[in-house]
Amino acid sequence: MASSGEQQHGGGHHAGMWVFPVAERVTAEVTGRTFAFPSGYKLALGVAGILTVLGVIGFIIKLTSSGFGSPGPWGYYAGIFSFIFMATGAAPLVAVAFRFTKSHWRRPLSRVSELFALVGVVNVILFIPLMLALPPILNPAAQGTELEVRRTLWFEVPIGAPHWWDFLGLVGLAVCSLAILWLSAMPDMAQARSSATGFRRALYGLLAGSWYGSKRQWIHQKAGLAMLGAFYFMLLVFVQFVFITEYAMSMVPGWKDSVLPPMYTVMSFQTALSLILVIMFVMRRWGGYAEYIGVSPFWSASKILLGLTLLWTYHLFAFFITYWYGRLEFEQNIIRYLFTEPYLVLFLGNFLFSFVTPFLLLIWNPLRKSDWGPTLAGCFALLGAFLFNIRTFTAAFNTGDHYEFALSRVPAAVLPDFGDILIILGGLGLAALVYLLAAKLIPNMSIWEVKEGAKYQKMDTLMKADYLVLAKPE
């Protein structure tokens, strides 16, 4: 428990900004909360479970009614997969990145972010139907002509491309993020195994069996986290690049957009950070973690979120102006198709929620210095990302002839059917269900990092005013 004095929390305009957990109590309190099952949590679990079941029903409806003969019916499935992958795939990176920059404020959010490793396994499973829905690179109807292949990253069509390479990438991401989670949670599980009971005791004993907290082990753990983090970052960027190119760009004839993969990656960072802010807000307000999560992580993350919001818009503008100014007919058709005609409403919603609202909220200082301000901006950003993915993938999967050299007409928009709606709900439900279960399996706050942070910060006086003092040991 944190000490309750005003001085400890920062006085004056610093009030509530920082929290000062007592290192000796962190393990017992965090594990106690992890093992508890409050009614609100049970309700969330139930809702997520019901949504998952609906999703399975939707999938069966889609499979029986459409099959995998053509990609069109799977556009919404691809959209919801991409949204989940975008948010949850990049989520473990949040811990990695801010650990790398040695930001103290990251400590309470590290585990929140790393727990998404378990959702990575869901991503792998959800990806399998997409492998079946993607049309082959070789055009079966036009061998020996100019249109014998559709545009693709895999120029000479190596064995298994693109399906199996994408699949391997996703598996690699899942394995790597699980390794990060395991390595990061090992000290916590070693501490918690004495107080855990039942299957958790066995699990912690198994996963943290050899951890004694020697200096050598700490050095290895930190080096391992750094190396795995760097590898995960590179692999994620690569997989995102392949996925957005292969499952969106190459499906639209003539869409050659070198800024799309960076834009997708930037948006994934924005979405992941937003998701983590929302979870932290829930934990702080209703999860009993107010003594561990101050306003400071929201304040610091909000600046990053603002930067990412601007960066996404900049990439979008770089694409738009190049195509718009070029005045090439097929490029104009692509703009009309994806932005200004059939999917205009989705695009406007995407732009409003991914840029306008987060930007207007986050440039306001008092709002950034609250816990709800950045969270609200994050909610909007999540909604914007959802619309982006639905728009992009539904449009890409429904362009008609994917082997054309350029888009010569503007196809109509495709609205979701009943199965699509169930699939969307189910996808979200499944991701939430797995995360909720993961949060009860492993301590959902990085105990060792919080304890470490408690030693490196204090309030002190400088020229008659109180300030936070942060130690930088390395």
Partner 1 sequence: MQEGRTLSTREINRDLLRSILESPRWFWPVVTVLGIILLVAAIAIGIMVNRGLGVTGLNRPVAWGFFITNFVFWIGISHAGVMLSAILRLAKAEWRRPATRAAEVLTLFSLMTAMIMPIVHTGRPWRILYWVFPYDFARGIWPNIRTPLVWDPSAILTYLTSSTLFVIIALIPDFAVLRDHTTGVAHRVYTLLAMGWEGNARQWKLQITAGVLLSALILPVFVSVHSIVSWDFGMAVAVKTWHSTVFAPYFVVGAVHSGVSAVAFVLILLRWCYGWQDYIRHEHIDALGRLLIVVATGWFYFLIMELLFGMYGREADELAVRGLQFTQWPYNAWFIVFVVTTYFIPVILWLSRAWRRNLWIMSIACISVNIGMWLERFLIIVPGLVNKQVFSFTWADYAPSPFEIIIVGATFALVTMLMLLFSRVFPLVPLYDVKEGDILKTEVKVGRRTVPATFRED
The residues of the shown chain that bind partner 1, judged by CB under 8 A, are 151-153, 155, 237, 241, 245, 256-262, 303, 314-315, 317-319, 321-323, 325-328, 455-458, 460, 462, 467-474
Question: Which residue, among 4, 14, 49, 37, has the nearest Cα to 433 in the 3D structure?
Answer: 49
Residues whose CB is less than 8 angstroms from the CB of residue 282 and which lie 6 or more positions away in sequence, other chains included: none
CB of 42 to partner 1, least distance (A): 40
Neighbours of 21 (CB within 10 A): 24
- Strand, helix or coil for residue 374: helix
Residue (207 or 259) nearer to partner 1, CB: 259
CB of 133 to partner 1, least distance (A): 22
Residue (62 or 107) nearer to partner 1, CB: 107
Residue 268 φ then ψ, to 5°: -65, -35
CB of 446 to partner 1, least distance (A): 18
CB of 463 to partner 1, least distance (A): 8
Distance between CA atoms of 95 and 81, rounded to whole angstroms? 23
The tokens of 462 are what? 């400088």
Residue (59 or 403) nearer to partner 1, CB: 403
Instruction: Name the residue with tokens 């990253």.
Output: 153
Residue 269: is it exposed, middle or buried by C-beta count within 10 angstroms (0-12/13-18/19+)? buried
The tokens of 199 are what? 């299957």
Residue (70 or 103) nearer to partner 1, CB: 103
CB of 196 to partner 1, least distance (A): 28
Residue (163 or 458) nearer to partner 1, CB: 458
Residue (155 or 286) nearer to partner 1, CB: 155
Residue (56 or 311) nearer to partner 1, CB: 311
Cα 198 from chain centroid?
32
Distance between CA atoms of 474 and 469, rounded to whole angstroms? 15
Distance between CA atoms of 395 and 411, rounded to whole angstroms? 9
CB of 366 to partner 1, least distance (A): 13
Residue (176 or 196) nearer to partner 1, CB: 176
Residue (256 or 440) nearer to partner 1, CB: 256
Omega prior to 92 cis, within 30 of 0? no
- Strand, helix or coil for residue 474: coil
CB of 325 to partner 1, least distance (A): 5
Residue (50 or 153) nearer to partner 1, CB: 153
Cα 383 from chain centroid?
13
Residue 69: is it exposed, middle or buried by C-beta count within 10 angstroms (0-12/13-18/19+)? exposed
CB of 252 to partner 1, least distance (A): 13
CB of 261 to partner 1, least distance (A): 6
Residue (256 or 285) nearer to partner 1, CB: 256
CB of 7 to partner 1, least distance (A): 16
CB of 319 to partner 1, least distance (A): 5
Question: Which residue, among 95, 76, 238, has the nearest Cα to 172 in the 3D structure?
Answer: 238
Residue (232 or 323) nearer to partner 1, CB: 323
- The conformation of residue 147, written as its DSSP 8-state character, comes to T
Distance between CA atoms of 226 and 46, rounded to whole angstroms? 37
Instruction: Name the residue with tokens 């007409």.
Output: 409
The tokens of 187 are what? 């000290």
Distance between CA atoms of 52 and 431, rounded to whole angstroms? 9
DSSP labels for 73-86?
GGHHHHHHHHHHHH
CB of 76 to partner 1, least distance (A): 26
Under a CB-based contact definition with an 8 Å cutoff, are residues 20 and 454 in contact? yes
Under a CB-based contact definition with an 8 Å cutoff, are residues 335 and 378 in contact? no
